[in-house]
Amino acid sequence: MATTLSWMVLVLPLVSGLVLTGWPSEPPRAITRVLGIGSILVAFALSVWVFADLLGSPPEERSLTSRAFEWIAIGDVTVDLSILVDPLSVMMMLVITGVGFLIHLYSAEYMGGDRDYRRFFAGMNLFVFSMLLLVMAGNFLFLIVGWAFVGLASYLLIGFWYERPTAVAAAKKAFIVNVIGDVGLVLGAVLILRETGTLDYAGAFAGAGSIGADSGTLLAICLLLFMGAAAKSAQVPLHTWLPDAMEGPTPVSALIHAATMVTAGVYLVVRCHVFFDLSWLAGDIVAVVGAITLLMAATVALQQVDIKRVLAWSTISQVGYMIMAVGLGAYASGMFMLMAHAFFKAALFLAAGIVIHALHGEQNLDRMAGLRKHLRVAYFGMGAGCLAIAGVPGFAGFFAKDDVLASALAGGNVGVACWVIGVIGAFLTALYMFRLLFRAFFGPEPGGGYRPVPHPSRWWMSVPVVILGVLSIVGGLVQVPFGWAGITDWLQPVTGNAPSVLAPTHTTEVVTVITSSVVALAGIALAWWLFGADPARRLRLAGVARSTREVMRGGWRFDEVCDDVIVEPGRTVADVMWAEVEPKGPQGIITGTTALLRGGARLVGASQSGLVRAYAFWMVLGIVAVGIVLAIVVTGAV
């Protein structure tokens, strides 16, 4: 039952996306909405049904595999088209279809003015299908397919406004960085195939133990998988595409580049935790990369003036928390953070979308202020999101982040180091998010007021923001320290009880709750002092550490270094190949041979006088010569 429903969840968005794509002309908007949004709503309802179904069965029977058909049998490998429905994938399904539905609903109005309404929803449905395939796939091959399809959907939606060169370039960059990640994932899968002889999750995980714990092979598998995860989840050094991806429409940023797709890396590590459990080094590397990313991105977010870029860097930073958590082995904490982040980051983006919509495309914080009075819904969504992401006690982000940090503190030396970085990151998070809130929504309106005055949005845009705002407030209550552990218990059948699986202890919980609360409030207070209380103070402090802040604003110059080290040398090599090697080498073989033959022909051609009698003479001479030779040979005279 549950698997049949899951197949329907998977197929619905695909079918609606294909119908929309195949519609001969631009369909009426009502049809686009029914297909585009309705399919996701039904998928969400079915996901809830699946969830309830699983909840009703004993924990050890919550992992169901369903096989459609034998997809290919090649070499000694057989790959089925199959899905795996277990607590982890169901949790992801709920997040994807739930948040996805709200964002689709929001888009119906947000994209209302766009010519390509149908194309937008077709792309969004394709994305939801791909993401579902990614989390529901029953083997590595279809994981990769889903993985690449979300990249494609992301590409299409970043480049949705394809007449803008910046959007086109951003889409290309995102795609190529993700292909680099795909290559890692493919090689990882190939290595798993070699070592375990199968691509099925069950078989591969069962065979993981025989590879040898902490062996080089296992480390290679983990790092290759993580290469894919890092590209998708925008972890250092493969993060540079995400800020640029903000060229896409805001709902796209909310759904793909904040709530769901960028967390695929977290899902991947949790899904493959068996490998990471067996290689402590791989886990630590993952954790350290996550920690570096969260800190680096937080500093960059502090300096952005584009409202969406603040959120983009904040996403990188928050995903860094999740990656750090799962690297340390705190899988449930990472997934908890993933869910909470989906709520509050979607709320933040959608609120930002209302702002952008109201200001006719304005995204620069410098030209915003005092929006609080005009955009109540956006203010609510943004406020709730900020409180949640900053980790103010009681909000969703608090419980999630606290869970991550408390687990980290229990995780040995690396864990403690990560905890310290996480706490610093929490402070910075509070600071940059409330900077955004105070600058955009507080203070006096810019000179001359808004022109035209921001208009309130209709309910299609408001309702999702409100729902997500509420979820940002209460969504954390599924797992409360010293109370209950909803997520951990739910994921128990998946993550199991391996010795490396981290969970917070009493002490770490207490220390973390206190520290993170203090830090969050301190961050907010500093933000208030800098940006809220007196807007002019910011301008007075503009000269402080200007050059460092410039570097930060540019994302620590990762882009430039990538260009100089990878792209440009590659281009130079290609240019040399094109301009020098090809004409002189492979083409040279032809031109050289031609020249040689032509020269030779000219030489021989000179003897062709055209006089028949001369030819006859030479012929006779030749015959005589042959005759003489023959005579000598036959008589053996020599």
Partner 1 sequence: MPWVSILILVPLAAAVVVALMRDRRIARVVALAGSTLALAVSVVVVASFDRGVAVMQQVDHLDWIPSAGVSWDVGVDGISIWLVLLTTAIFTLGTVAACQRLPEQRGSVFLGLILLAEAGLLGLFTAGDLILFYVCWEFMLIPFALLIWNWGEGGQKTAGLVFVVYTMAGSLLMLVAIISTGIIAMDHTGGLSFLIRDLQGVAFGEATSTILLAGFLIAFAIKIPLWPLHGWLPRAYSQAPLVVTILLAAVMSKAGVYGLLRIGLPVFPEGVGNVVIPIAILALTGIVYGSLLAWRATTMRLLVGYSSMAHLGFIVLGIIVLDRMAAQGAVLQMVNHGLVAAAAFVIVLILGRGAGTEDMDRLSGLAKGAPRMAVAFLIVTMAALALPGSNAFVGEFFILGGVFNQYAWMAVIATLGIIYAAVYMLRMYQSTMNGPVHGVRDDGRAVEMTARDAIVLIPLILMMMWIAVWPGSLVGATRASTDMALAPAQLADGRPVEQIGILPARAALPATDHPEQP
Partner 2 sequence: MSVPIGAYLMLSLALLILGLIGVMRRRNPLMLLLSVELMLNAGNVALIGFSRLWDDPSGQVFALVVMVVAAAEVVIGLGLVVAIFRSRTNLDVDEMSSMRG
* Residues near 198 by beta carbon (within 8 Å), at least 6 away in sequence: 77, 139, 204, 207
Q: Binding of partner 1 at residue 119 (CB under 8 A)?
A: yes
Restricting to residues 531-570, name those near partner 1 by CB under 8 A. 570
User: What tokens appear for 68 in the block?
Assistant: 């459609």
Q: What are the start-end ranges of the H helices in 359-458? A: 376-390, 396-409, 412-441
Q: Binding of partner 1 at residue 179 (CB under 8 A)?
A: yes
Q: Binding of partner 1 at residue 28 (CB under 8 A)?
A: no
Binding range to partner 1, per CB under 8 A, among 376-384, 429-437, 471-479, 576-584: 576-584
SS3 label, residue 160? coil
629 interacts with, out of partner 2, partner 1, none, CB within 5 to 8 A per kind: none
Nearer to partner 1, 165 or 543 (CB): 165
**Residue among 465, 466, 323, 478 at smallest CA distance from 398:** 478
Q: Binding of partner 1 at residue 182 (CB under 8 A)?
A: yes
CA 14, distance to chain mean position in Å, is 20
CB of 169 to partner 2, least distance (A): 59
SS3 label, residue 306? strand
In the shown chain, the binding pattern of residues 616 to 635 toward partner 1, with x for contact by CB under 8 A and - for none, equals: --------------------
User: What tokens appear for 573 in the block?
Assistant: 């090599």
User: What tokens appear for 142 in the block?
Assistant: 């279809």
Nearer to partner 2, 206 or 616 (CB): 616
141 interacts with, out of partner 2, partner 1, none, CB within 5 to 8 A per kind: partner 1
Q: What type of residue is 461?
A: M
Give CA–CA dist 400/391, Å, rounded.
8
577 interacts with, out of partner 1, partner 2, none, CB within 5 to 8 A per kind: partner 1
User: What tokens appear for 91 in the block?
Assistant: 């949790």
Q: Binding of partner 1 at residue 69 (CB under 8 A)?
A: yes
**Residue among 355, 417, 462 at smallest CA distance from 425:** 417
Q: Binding of partner 1 at residue 1 (CB under 8 A)?
A: no
CB of 626 to partner 1, least distance (A): 27
Restricting to residues 133-162, name those near partner 1 by CB under 8 A. 141, 144-145, 147-149, 151-152, 156, 159, 162
606 interacts with, out of partner 1, partner 2, none, CB within 5 to 8 A per kind: partner 2
Q: For residues 403 and 481, is the Cβ–Cβ distance under 8 A?
A: yes
Binding range to partner 1, per CB under 8 A, among 385-393, 401-409, 480-488, 573-581: 573-581
CA 339, distance to chain mean position in Å, is 16
573 interacts with, out of partner 1, partner 2, none, CB within 5 to 8 A per kind: partner 1
Per CB under 8 A, residues contacting partner 2 are: 604-613, 616-617, 620
Nearer to partner 2, 578 or 617 (CB): 617
Question: Residue 626, exposed/middle/buried by CB under 10 A (0-12, 13-18, 19+)?
Answer: exposed
604 interacts with, out of partner 2, partner 1, none, CB within 5 to 8 A per kind: partner 2
Q: What type of residue is 3?
A: T
Q: Binding of partner 1 at residue 247 (CB under 8 A)?
A: no
CB of 168 to partner 1, least distance (A): 5
Q: Binding of partner 1 at residue 361 (CB under 8 A)?
A: no
Question: Residue 78, exposed/middle/buried by CB under 10 A (0-12, 13-18, 19+)?
Answer: middle
Q: For residues 442 and 369, is the Cβ–Cβ distance under 8 A?
A: yes
526 interacts with, out of partner 1, partner 2, none, CB within 5 to 8 A per kind: none
Nearer to partner 1, 206 or 574 (CB): 574
DSSP string, 225-276: HHHHHHHHTT-TTS-THHHHGGGS-HHHHHIIIIISGGGHHHHHHHHTHHHH
Interface contacts to partner 1, rule CB under 8 A? 21, 69-77, 119, 141, 144-145, 147-149, 151-152, 156, 159, 162-163, 165, 168, 171-172, 175-176, 179-180, 182-183, 186-187, 190-191, 193-194, 570, 573-575, 577-578, 582, 585-590
